[in-house]
Structure 1
Amino acid sequence: MAGAEAAAEVAAVFPRSPPPPPRRQLFLAAGGGASPRWWQRRRRLLRSAVPPGPGLGLLGLVFSRFCCSALAGPVVDPHVTAVWGKKVALKCIIDVNETITQVSWEKIDGKSSKTIAVHHPEYGISVQGEFQGRVAFKNYSLTDATIILKNVSFSDAGEYVCKAVTFPLGNTQSSTTVTVLVEPVVSLTKGPNPLIDGANRTIAATCTAATGKPAAQIDWEGGLGEMESTSTLFPNETVTVVSHYVIVPTRFARGRHITCIVRHPAFDKEIRYPYVLDIQYAPEVSVTGYDGNWFIGRGNVQLKCNADANPLPMEFMWTRLDGQWPEGLLAVNNTLQFSSPLTYNYTGTYVCKVTNALGQRSDQKTIYILDVPFKQTSSVAVAGAVIGAVLALFIITIFVTVLLTPRKKRPAYLDKVIDLPPTHKPASFEERTLAVPQKEAMLQEENFALQSQYRERDAGNLQHMKAVNGRQLTCEAEEPQEQEGLQPMYPVYQQTYYKNWSNRYPQNSGPGRVYINPREHYV
């Protein structure tokens, strides 16, 4: 029907060509009595009867319209993941400019297919067979053929085809593949055996991810033990994963947290199950309350039995080792009360025994009754004395360090000259004056008059000695005490003194002379 209408449309578009001329006319044109001019007009008429250009263009347009529209299939998701027992949406968007006469969904079953649902603009929506009640179109629009598949089961996995029938182009279709996942059932339980302090490797907790497709991934957090996992595959391709957390129990691990972490593609996020370790151990017992200052007549004292155990202690029992149980003692659970003032009869050793499901432990305390109480040093006073002693020691250390540290003295010029070897010739007065710092140069100018006075005084102290064994001896008298006292104060005077002494007293150049070297030349 559609092909006949298309042919009629083509016939209306293209005009029919004129019939061929009779055979007689063709014979006359070939060589009979017809003129060539008539034949030429006939040829022009035949050429104008069927215009080749526009006809071929319209024909190509029609064929391209058929071909191109048929290749544009519905828009679907190539792969869709569905979760067992939940619902999933299968998208199908039809984007064509032609009239849509019907849309439908089919499921491929081997080499055949079966219809799931049909939407007709005139007859409405129809859902077939086993899919009734589980399949519904998301919208009533023919351009959006998306369906919702509820209560997904294993049989729903496979290939689905979305078809659209248009006029005049015909059918167009696209397919999508559905994969069914199964969420695992996650559970966390404690180990089959109790965790006892000092025991060997024991399962602390078990984390199970049952009947998942694909297999779930299980990890542990805690850092106290090791993970041991096993997997079981079932005929429906589901997998059960069981993971044990194994530790070596110790009482110090009691109350610690471990966490089971399960990851699966069907989960929106990872699942975390926390668990608190419960370690059992025998009682740990200690007796307190005795301060060592129990004296005759003291009252309101007691001993306390402290026990740490898991499970909780079942029984507290007080006994005395070295004598009979005195009157005035009252045992109430973990407390031993001395209800009357103390006497010598209370001196002795008292034992507390604690029992739980794992055993019995005990501790004891020996009590001494004094005649009179001894004075206890206040803890505040002791602390103050210790702090004061530390501060005093610190101050004394600083004082001794300051006294014993040598002070570095700036050496004078004369000390530098004395340290030179005997063969060294001191620099001249002019050269030393240039090397004197500015401060010493100012001091030299202020004391110039004082230097002149000392030069005249020193001249009287020098005298010539008598000749000894035919030799003339020149000596220098001892310098006065005042001169030694002025050496540190006036170093410039010492420099000028050497020069003046050598100028005023020239040395003999004869072979029999005796020369006393100035002490500045000795080291």
Structure 2
Amino acid sequence: MKAKADMNCVGKTFCAFVLLTVTVAMVPMENIRVSKIAGSSVNLTCGVISRGDLVVVTWKIRPRTGNHCALAYRTDQNKTDRTNCSERMDWKSSPETDSALQIRQVTLTDEGCYICEAVTSAENLRRTYTLTVLVSPEVTLTCYSNGTAVCKAAAGKPAAQISWDPNGDPRTELENHTDGIVTVLSIYSPRETSITCLVSHPAWNTSQSKECPSDNGNMFLRHFSICAGLLGIFFILVFVFFCKLHCGRICY
């Protein structure tokens, strides 16, 4: 009888394990892609959860680099747990009233997968986020006297897009850094009129523009200065010549 009871216990345990595995496997998967600018904050929600039916909610954070971490809350014990999570990652408010996760001052190290698993008395819920961090590039435009213009979008993620107005045939160079950071150089040469460098990036609502003025005015000034200098030298030589001629006549 005892052996039969043990067999029944083992059978019930096995059935419960199989049922739990099937239940977890049947939980609907929802993968949401989120992009945030470095330095901003982001709130990730678990979806619509009945607070009265909630049993346990867990956030599993799996960054692309670094250690995994987790936040959990159990309603029956009114207890929260956290493992290896930084101070910038925490419940948005209090887990007993809101299961959302808040990440303050997002950095590139926060990129990765964020999974919310909630168990209620009625169902199990699972929501997955893929977080991507955008880095705004620094734009500079250098205009050289030989007619060459260099537009630079430094340290952006992803790489910025550079175009010119009017359209030309620029040369583009990419410099790849760590963590997907890219510096883009666009070299426009030569230029005869005023040109504008246009830079677009996903971190901006609108593109940025910088202008190189026309070089015609500078060319005119340079030519005028050269001509004025030559005329000045000519008049000096003429003046010296007449002075010597006049002195020679007096002496004679």
* TM, length-normalised to structure 1: 0.35
Q: For 1:324 and 1:165, how far apart are their aligned partners in 2?
A: 108
Could you say which residue in structure 1 is the equivalent of 2:5? none
Gap change, CA 1:248 and 1:277, over 3 Å in 2: closer
How many residues are matched? 214
Which digits, 9 at most, give the CA deviation of each residue in 1:57-100, with x for residues without a partner? xxxxxxxxxx99x96769x6611113334322222223348521
User: Residue 190 of structure 2: which of 235, 247, 250 is its match?
Assistant: 247
Q: For 1:259 and 1:148, how far apart are their aligned partners in 2?
A: 41
Structure 2 residue 218 is matched with structure 1 residue 275:
no
Structure 2 residue 146 is matched with structure 1 residue 208:
no
Q: For 1:150 and 1:274, how far apart are their aligned partners in 2?
A: 36
Task: Please list every run of 5 or more consecutive structure 2 residues that lacks an aligned counterpart in the other structure.
Answer: 1-21, 244-252
Shift of 1:148: 1.9
Q: For 2:111 and 2:56, how far apart are their aligned partners in 1?
A: 25
Gap change, CA 1:310 and 1:268, over 3 Å in 2: farther
Gap change, CA 1:137 and 1:316, over 3 Å in 2: farther
Q: For 1:242 and 1:226, how far apart are their aligned partners in 2?
A: 13
Contact 1:73/1:172 (8 A) holds in 2: yes
Could you say which residue in structure 1 is the equivalent of 2:129? 176
Q: For 1:143 and 1:236, how far apart are their aligned partners in 2?
A: 36
Q: For 1:160 and 1:266, how far apart are their aligned partners in 2?
A: 22
Q: For 2:171 and 2:182, how far apart are their aligned partners in 1?
A: 17
User: Residue 234 of structure 1: which of 132, 157, 177 is its match?
Assistant: 177
Q: For 2:185 and 2:134, how far apart are their aligned partners in 1?
A: 19
Gap change, CA 1:141 and 1:82, over 3 Å in 2: same
Shift of 1:214: 2.2
Shift of 1:162: 0.5
Could you say which residue in structure 2 is the equivalent of 1:262? 199
Structure 2 residue 68 is matched with structure 1 residue 131:
no
Q: For 1:272 and 1:81, how far apart are their aligned partners in 2?
A: 24
Gap change, CA 1:282 and 1:186, over 3 Å in 2: closer
Report the secondary structure of 1:247's partner residue.
coil
Shift of 1:149: 1.1
Shift of 1:177: 1.4
Shift of 1:219: 0.3
Amino acid at match of 1:281: M
Shift of 1:268: 2.1
Report the secondary structure of 1:267's partner residue.
coil
Shift of 1:158: 1.8
Structure 2 residue 33 is matched with structure 1 residue 91:
no
Q: For 1:143 and 1:90, how far apart are their aligned partners in 2?
A: 15
Q: If you compute each CA radius of gyration, which structure gives the higher value, 1 or 2? A: 1
Q: For 2:230 and 2:74, how far apart are their aligned partners in 1?
A: 84
Percentage identity across paired residues of the two chains: 26
Contact 2:63/2:109 (8 A) holds in 1: no
Contact 2:37/2:106 (8 A) holds in 1: yes
Aligned CA-pair RMSD: 4.0
Q: Residues 312-331 of structure 1 correspond to what in structure 2 (within 5 A)?
A: 317=232, 319=235
Q: For 2:225 and 2:81, how far apart are their aligned partners in 1?
A: 68
Q: For 1:282 and 1:119, how far apart are their aligned partners in 2?
A: 75
Amino acid at match of 2:99: A
Shift of 1:316: 7.9
Amino acid at match of 1:277: S
Amino acid at match of 1:264: H
Give the strand-richer structure, 1 or 2.
Answer: 2
Q: Residues 72-87 of structure 1 correspond to what in structure 2 (within 5 A)?
A: 78-87=32-41
Gap change, CA 1:100 and 1:232, over 3 Å in 2: same
Shift of 1:310: 6.7
Q: For 2:38 and 2:63, how far apart are their aligned partners in 1?
A: 20
Q: For 1:176 and 1:267, how far apart are their aligned partners in 2?
A: 22
Shift of 1:129: 2.7
Report the secondary structure of 1:281's partner residue.
helix
Shift of 1:127: 4.4
Report the secondary structure of 1:266's partner residue.
coil
Gap change, CA 1:315 and 1:283, over 3 Å in 2: farther
Q: For 1:310 and 1:265, how far apart are their aligned partners in 2?
A: 47
Q: For 1:206 and 1:240, how far apart are their aligned partners in 2?
A: 13
Contact 1:104/1:115 (8 A) holds in 2: no
